[in-house]
Chain A
Amino acid sequence: AQSVTQLGSHVSVSEGALVLLRCNYSSSVPPYLFWYVQYPNQGLQLLLKYTTGATLVKGINGFEAEFKKSETSFHLTKPSAHMSDAAEYFCAVRNGRNQGGKLIFGQGTELSVKP
């Protein structure tokens, strides 16, 4: 069975500081990995995804993530936080054999950005 663990339910950084949101996954088959962002009272928006190929994936709003198979990790980073980055972030995994296409989500990490 697949699962996702996000370390830290809440992360606080200062504006301009590095953002690092941690995600570890468990999967018996090659995973497809996703990061979504949810702003207050909004739906989920895709930040980036890893399917195959290059393990460093760039997404929207200056975010990137690196797939590390040996560490079963897919951490999300951004070099310099903006106030507008404050939101809830979700890491998700999908089975490469589809399993009906469902996304399995981590618990979410709330990012706060201090001025």
Chain B
Amino acid sequence: DTAVSQTPKYLVTQMGNDKSIKCEQNLGHDTMYWYKQDSKKFLKIMFSYNNKELIINETVPNRFSPKSPDKAHLNLHINSLELGDSAVYFCASSLGRANTEAFFGQGTRLTVV
């Protein structure tokens, strides 16, 4: 029973398209995140939601729009995809306390051609 699941696992699309990545967690956590891992494997926070409220937005282009319909779901919609958006996107969740670890999904490898 997967704790943090994201779909799709792979996404290949053309420049200019709009795409979405979905994430669900069944851990009962109240905080969810989107991280981006670039080609050099560097991980950087994009967004964080706590109880459906956006609390972190790390200078991400406004083509990226997260949506949290409830505490268990956090989706990421990307408009007008660019070549530079190619990366692996990870969803994660945790309890909203600093001393707790984050649990990560398997990642979505996005390739923009």
Q: Which of B56, B101, B106, B107 has a CB less than 8 Å from the CB of A102?
A: B56
Interface size (B, Cβ < 8 Å)?
28
Interface CB pairs A-B, < 8 A, 6? A36-B104, A43-B106, A96-B98, A96-B99, A97-B98, A100-B48
Kindly state the separation between the CA atoms of A71 and B72 in the bound complex, as whole angstroms: 39
Number of A-B contacts (CB under 8 A): 68
0/1 interface trace, chain A 79-115, chain B, CB 8 Å (1 if under): 0000000001010001111101111110110000000
B residues contacting A by CB (< 8 A) are 4, 31, 33, 40-45, 48, 50, 55-56, 58, 90, 92, 94, 96-99, 101-107
Kindly state the separation between the CA atoms of A36 and B101 in the bound complex, as whole angstroms: 10
Q: Which residue of A lies closest to B44 (CB)?
A: A105
Q: Which residues of B contact A34 (CB under 8 A)?
A: 101
Q: Which of B33, B99, B107 has a CB less than 8 Å from the CB of A43?
A: B107
What's the minimum C-beta distance from B99 to chain A, rounded to whole angstroms?
4
0/1 interface trace, chain A 46-58, chain B, CB 8 Å (1 if under): 1001011000000
- Place the interface of chain A in its size category: 20 to 34
A residues contacting B by CB (< 8 A) are 32, 34, 36, 38, 41-46, 49, 51-52, 88, 90, 94-98, 100-105, 107-108
Known contacts A42-B106, A51-B99, A97-B98: does B48 contact A88 (CB below 8 Å)?
no
